[in-house]
With several copies, the nearest count.
Chain A
């Protein structure tokens, strides 16, 4: 039985539905590394620190695995892979909940620079980010938490060859530890441009925010006449920003399905182990069927996240719409899966000592980061011109 008679998205022939052998091998190696370096105890240790990551692990992840530049072209010091490989990395990071400035620096900032900077700026900025030597991040939303670029108010005023930034950004991932900030700001009260500024520049004040999800730090950053460099040739960086946000949505969706899959596995193994009323709770149909529903949910979300990465990789014209699908579906699935995983664990699942809440909180923070599911569904409809 066909599930959809005529899919609206014409599934392009050039899109792959399976990972290659090499990609699977890459995933396996990465998973082994992360199981070794980021067991839950280590996650708990790092999430309690202000810095929020282990520089030694970051170094190995950069030097041995070249992860921060996985999707950065080789001429800028990267590994020259694309969105599919980035998706694999994010999925595995989501699974292991590694505490590291990967999403901020490699996904958000590097993508923004690749999308918006001049050739010279790319040559200048990307190699250090790709090598993991420079930690960068991207500042988009402001105090209202609105992800629509039209809501950006932070001002960039031309001053000589540079710009002065004035205003406040919030929800900046790893904003407290990044060395380099890429900031979306309104130039001349009109266009939205991307600007680069060292985090220690004069007029930049950073404050770590208390996130519900301590495995991913966020900061508020105030700019007072802070001197920044325009990225790209033009003050109109809206397309670059928008593309960056879509890529980040695809990456985050893959991270989320990685986390959801991990939760599902933990729920299944608990259900097989836990005995109540003389039998494994996984033998009760209520639990069996709940787990089956969770599996369906997670697999469907995975398909969307994978397709989005494949479509983005080949620049399928539909990919920005599919990015919306992927972010919305993965958010809903991750939150549901986390809630049900707690439910299956019962009281134990609600304790601090049980690891489930680490993923639950990541699910909640990811649900709203880059925009809630509703926001992305509405954006999907707009992109489809419904």
Chain B
């Protein structure tokens, strides 16, 4: 395939949009056009709803979409992750069956990795998949599943060999969530939200053609997934759309976004809302208290430092240099910022920090910060796990002695 130039891409997409973009289409109809044309996922292969463009050219396509206000494919979500994994590990049957409906967003996906007994230690999963000669039969329990109650499909990590070492007895499946053996329950958090689910499997069925990669190679696939997850999370900036935003398609998109974002609505509070600190201090008069001023200055400095560190990491990367240690500490820094925010918000708010709900400061937002912040140092790898990663991978310190080698069957677990 000959290399296409940036200008050519820009011309092509512009022409295609001029011809096809119509804000009065239904979202589904439009996404079908994207799938057919390949412009929804331009970096995907041509045979799988893409245009085979190099990754760096995606930006150009996005800019052109933004210029006319055109809607693209869903950017985040487990579906996108599943698609990336399927493109890398899936069979043609699987690609055929799943990819298009991910692009059109007709199917919602969820990820079935964490378990009550395997949180930090993801590879310790004990949900079992047993082959009955015809199908894989799933029994066990998953937890911390986002949007499981909406999802049609789940990507499942389950144990298929109990005599192999921990990481070598797991397999990766695609599971139909809408079947009798799957029971989805909301999981309420201490802050009152229920953004996650627990999922119970009671002889749930997975046909053999829904095994991704080979039996017992599930950990490798899961690792791929997690790598994509980090990559997509870093890939956040998106050109803002210009032009009027009227038309049926925008209505539908707003509804879609609301559903997708529902579980995350408290995440800004979880992060501590450093943006509110100075505003709130002025509001309560705490900005005149020299002690609070010190705390604010300390916190804002920390938050800025975290932000600048992230930019430093990206800048090194964009210069093609190896990322330094600054690339590994964002999660830990975010946790320090969040904890600092909870402390300083309390100082600023004073007695009113004990209120919640409508009567409370900022209509409950301050209270929500205080009861949501504890999640930051846990979710997605605890602070302790982060420190281990930094110590071992960045500083090269010796690894923990292992107590989980040998056949999984014999490893101590809850």
Does A touch B (CB under 8 Å) in the complex? yes
A residues sitting closer than 8 Å to B (CB atoms) are: 1-9, 11, 16-18, 141, 145-147, 171, 209-213, 218, 268, 271-280, 282-289, 291-293, 295-296, 299-304, 306-307, 322, 324-325, 328-329, 339, 342-343, 346-354, 356-357, 360-361, 364-365, 367-369, 371-372, 374, 377-378, 380-381, 384, 386
Residues in A whose Cβ lies below 8 Å from that of B305 = 300-301, 303-304, 325, 329
Closest A residue to B319 using CB positions: A18
Residues in B whose Cβ lies below 8 Å from that of A6 = 274-275
Inter-chain CA distance A3–B384, complex, in Å, is 18
Find out whether the CB atom of B354 lies under 8 angstroms from the CB atom of A386: no
Find out whether the CB atom of B354 lies under 8 angstroms from the CB atom of A213: yes
B365 within 8 A of A: no
Chain A proximity of B38: nearest CB distance (Å): 31
Q: Given A1-B380, A211-B354, A304-B308 in contact, is the A299-B329 Cβ separation under 8 Å?
A: yes
Find out whether the CB atom of A3 lies under 8 angstroms from the CB atom of B403: no
B375-412 interface mask toward A, CB cutoff 8 Å, 1 = contact, 0 = none?
Answer: 10111101110111011101111111111110000011
The residue in A17, A280, A322, A325 that gathers the most chain B C-beta atoms within 10 A of its C-beta is: A17
Chain B proximity of A174: nearest CB distance (Å): 14
Inter-chain CA distance A18–B309, complex, in Å, is 10
Chain B proximity of A212: nearest CB distance (Å): 4
B66 within 8 A of A: no
Find out whether the CB atom of A386 lies under 8 angstroms from the CB atom of B293: yes
Find out whether the CB atom of B367 lies under 8 angstroms from the CB atom of A18: no
Find out whether the CB atom of B354 lies under 8 angstroms from the CB atom of A368: yes
Inter-chain CA distance A287–B307, complex, in Å, is 27
Inter-chain CA distance A352–B379, complex, in Å, is 15
| List of 10 A-B pairs having minimum Cβ-Cβ separation, nearest first | A145-B351, A278-B404, A357-B190, A377-B297, A3-B306, A210-B357, A17-B315, A278-B403, A288-B391, A283-B398
Inter-chain CA distance A353–B185, complex, in Å, is 13
Inter-chain CA distance A273–B336, complex, in Å, is 28
Residues in B whose Cβ lies below 8 Å from that of A368 = 346, 349-354
B24 within 8 A of A: no
Find out whether the CB atom of B301 lies under 8 angstroms from the CB atom of A343: no
Residues in B whose Cβ lies below 8 Å from that of A346 = 119-120, 378, 382
Residues in B whose Cβ lies below 8 Å from that of A324 = 297
Residues in A whose Cβ lies below 8 Å from that of B114 = 347
B310 within 8 A of A: yes
Residues in B whose Cβ lies below 8 Å from that of A357 = 190, 371
Inter-chain CA distance A185–B405, complex, in Å, is 70
In addition to A325-B300, A351-B190, A369-B354, 11 A-B residue pairs with Cβ atoms within 8 Å of each other are: A1-B331, A18-B312, A210-B357, A278-B403, A284-B384, A295-B395, A299-B309, A299-B325, A300-B305, A300-B329, A329-B301
Find out whether the CB atom of B124 lies under 8 angstroms from the CB atom of A277: yes
Find out whether the CB atom of A2 lies under 8 angstroms from the CB atom of B359: no
Chain B positions 98-145 with a Cβ under 8 Å from a chain A Cβ: 114, 116-121, 124, 143-144
Residues in A whose Cβ lies below 8 Å from that of B303 = 3-4, 7-8
Inter-chain CA distance A300–B315, complex, in Å, is 15
Inter-chain CA distance A6–B300, complex, in Å, is 11
Can you report 11 A-B residue pairs in the complex whose CB atoms are below 8 A from each other?
A3-B334, A5-B273, A5-B274, A9-B304, A16-B315, A212-B370, A293-B387, A301-B305, A325-B305, A347-B378, A349-B378
Find out whether the CB atom of B306 lies under 8 angstroms from the CB atom of A352: no
Find out whether the CB atom of B275 lies under 8 angstroms from the CB atom of A352: no
Q: Is the interface of B mostly helix, strand, loop or mixed?
A: helix
Chain A proximity of B33: nearest CB distance (Å): 33
Inter-chain CA distance A284–B396, complex, in Å, is 13
Closest A residue to B313 using CB positions: A17
The residue in A268, A349, A374 that gathers the most chain B C-beta atoms within 10 A of its C-beta is: A374
B1 within 8 A of A: no
Q: Is the interface of A mostly helix, strand, loop or mixed?
A: helix
Q: Given A278-B404, A372-B346 in contact, is the A347-B379 Cβ separation under 8 Å?
A: yes
The residue in A2, A5, A350, A357 that gathers the most chain B C-beta atoms within 10 A of its C-beta is: A350
Find out whether the CB atom of A352 lies under 8 angstroms from the CB atom of B190: yes
B359 in complex: contacting residue of A11, A146, A209, A353, CB < 8 Å: A209
Find out whether the CB atom of B395 lies under 8 angstroms from the CB atom of A210: no
Find out whether the CB atom of B294 lies under 8 angstroms from the CB atom of A360: no
Inter-chain CA distance A307–B326, complex, in Å, is 14
The residue in B120, B331, B360 that gathers the most chain A C-beta atoms within 10 A of its C-beta is: B120
Residues in A whose Cβ lies below 8 Å from that of B314 = 17
Find out whether the CB atom of A350 lies under 8 angstroms from the CB atom of B414: no
Chain B positions 270-317 with a Cβ under 8 Å from a chain A Cβ: 271, 273-275, 278, 281-282, 287, 290-294, 296-298, 300-312, 314-316
Closest B residue to A300 using CB positions: B305
Chain A proximity of B398: nearest CB distance (Å): 4
Inter-chain CA distance A141–B354, complex, in Å, is 13
Find out whether the CB atom of A275 lies under 8 angstroms from the CB atom of B413: yes
A272 in complex: contacting residue of B336, B374, B397, CB < 8 Å: B397
B356 within 8 A of A: yes
Closest A residue to B324 using CB positions: A299
Q: Given A209-B355, A211-B354 in contact, is the A352-B189 Cβ separation under 8 Å?
A: yes
Q: Given A343-B382, A377-B293 in contact, is the A295-B307 Cβ separation under 8 Å?
A: no
Residues in A whose Cβ lies below 8 Å from that of B375 = 350
Inter-chain CA distance A16–B347, complex, in Å, is 35
Find out whether the CB atom of A275 lies under 8 angstroms from the CB atom of B333: no
B358 within 8 A of A: yes
B97 within 8 A of A: no
B215 within 8 A of A: no
B301 in complex: contacting residue of A18, A280, A304, A347, CB < 8 Å: A304
Chain A proximity of B336: nearest CB distance (Å): 8
Residues in A whose Cβ lies below 8 Å from that of B159 = none
Residues in B whose Cβ lies below 8 Å from that of A4 = 274-275, 303-304, 306-307, 337
Find out whether the CB atom of A212 lies under 8 angstroms from the CB atom of B333: no
Residues in A whose Cβ lies below 8 Å from that of B282 = 386
Find out whether the CB atom of A343 lies under 8 angstroms from the CB atom of B383: yes
Closest B residue to A282 using CB positions: B397
A361 in complex: contacting residue of B120, B274, B359, B371, CB < 8 Å: B371
